[in-house]
Amino acid sequence: MSPAESFTAGERPVENVKPIQYSPLPVSCSAPHAPWKTIKVPMRTPAPHEVFIKVHASGICNSDHFVYDGAWPGISFPRTPGHEVVGRVVSIGEGVKEGRFSEGELVGVGWNGGYCGACTSCREGEFWDCEKHAVTGITHDGGHAEYIYAPVTSVVKLPEDALKNSSYAELAPLLCAGITVFGALASTSYSPGDICIVQGVGGLGHLAIQYATRMGLKVYATSSGPSKAELARSLGAHEHIDASAVDVAEYMSKLGGAKVVLCTAPSASAINKVLPAVARGGVVTVVGAASDGEIKVSTQLMNMKRATLRGWACGTSIDTEQCVHFSNLAHVKAMVKEYKLEDFAEAYENMIAGGPKFRNVIVFP
């Protein structure tokens, strides 16, 4: 397929963005459990409140399974997933405020797919809980494609100097995995030097260890088996606890418990075992989307310790900007393995099987 000679009137190509009539390699799922396919998508002028972005990297998240399994309420097909997107602005809808974004600017798009600005949650400033609840790659097409049309409220400004410390691929996971654990930690009350347990040393956990240590917490990482002990310590953990050989709650009780417990691995059984490790007045935050069972908690334990158990979801674009700025300043980096889009099915299956260390990322030239 040959590129078109020009963009639609009013659009201008930017560096590293070839003007094309069709996006030749977007990945798409046509129905629940249907094979991943590449399709041709006609190019169009961005809607008034959209930003048209050339994608350079798109991280594969466990939540992409909501598309493959058709498990998200109301999801329609065909659908292109992908909500850890880094790229550059190609063109801007006519309704986007002048100066908000410029052509060629480095931007990202995360899980939060924008918000209406008019519902009760938005009026109260809780944009993440917008009643229309747009999700990139689920309620509208996402970033596993050469180009993405993104609602302007979902677009994240990224500092150009972030590329001095990280590649496009290393920045991409910050748009979901990064902002999730960063927001959970930043919103938790603690004192410098307090003990923090990071349950799971995977896609979210390896970032959580880095954030927690740089925020002044004494981190104990826990996972099943000893294989990630050296890695956890290299990321800044004070100690790694092998949950297959040690009772984490009993071990931590001798240290007074953990003021901060962050559960990142999507395993209900593993989360249940670590809950009693919380200290008096501590906070347990669950960010891992466990689908293997229910999380069970002892009310006596929670009552007597006056502990808090809560969940946490991704913030909006402004929250993600803060996360990326902190990551850049504190040299927090994602560990990634790069794939071409034509190898997406392999990369997705590898992620589902728990293979990557720790984010499989689709990259584009």
Is the Cβ–Cβ distance between 95 and 51 less than 8 Å? Answer: no
With 70 as the cut, is the pLDDT of residue 2 above it? Answer: no
With 80 as the cut, is the pLDDT of residue 270 above it? Answer: yes
Average pLDDT over residues 259-287: 94
| pLDDT tens digits, 209-223 | 999 999 999 999 999
Return the higher-pLDDT residue of 331 and 9.
Answer: 331
With 70 as the cut, is the pLDDT of residue 1 above it? Answer: no
The residues, ordered by sequence, that sit 6+ positions from 250 with a Cβ below 8 Å of its Cβ are none
The residues, ordered by sequence, that sit 6+ positions from 269 with a Cβ below 8 Å of its Cβ are 292, 293
pLDDT bin (cut points 50, 70, 90) of residue 291 is: confident
Is the Cβ–Cβ distance between 180 and 265 less than 8 Å? Answer: no
Measure the CA–CA gap between 309 and 314, rounded to whole angstroms: 17
Mean pLDDT of the chain: 91
The closest alpha carbon to 18, from 42, 38, 2, belongs to 2
Average pLDDT over residues 257-286: 95
What are residue 87's DSSP bridge partners? 55, 107
- Phi and psi, residue 361, nearest 5°: -130, 130
Q: Which helix (H) or strand (E) holds 345?
A: helix 344-352
What does the longest C-alpha to C-alpha distance in the chain come to? Answer: 70
Measure the CA–CA gap between 143 and 54, rounded to whole angstroms: 9
**29, 64, 294, 325, 341 from 70: Cα distances, Å:** 9, 10, 21, 34, 21
> Cis (ω within 30 of 0) for the bond into 35?
no
Q: What is the pLDDT of residue 23?
A: 54
pLDDT bin (cut points 50, 70, 90) of residue 17 is: very low
Q: Token pair for residue 223?
A: 């996972």
Q: What is the pLDDT of residue 289?
A: 79
- Phi and psi, residue 220, nearest 5°: -115, 115
Cα–chain center distance at 5? 36
Cα–chain center distance at 10? 33
With 60 as the cut, is the pLDDT of residue 19 above it? Answer: no
Rg of the chain over all Cα atoms, to the nearest angstrom = 21
The residues, ordered by sequence, that sit 6+ positions from 121 with a Cβ below 8 Å of its Cβ are 127, 129, 130, 131
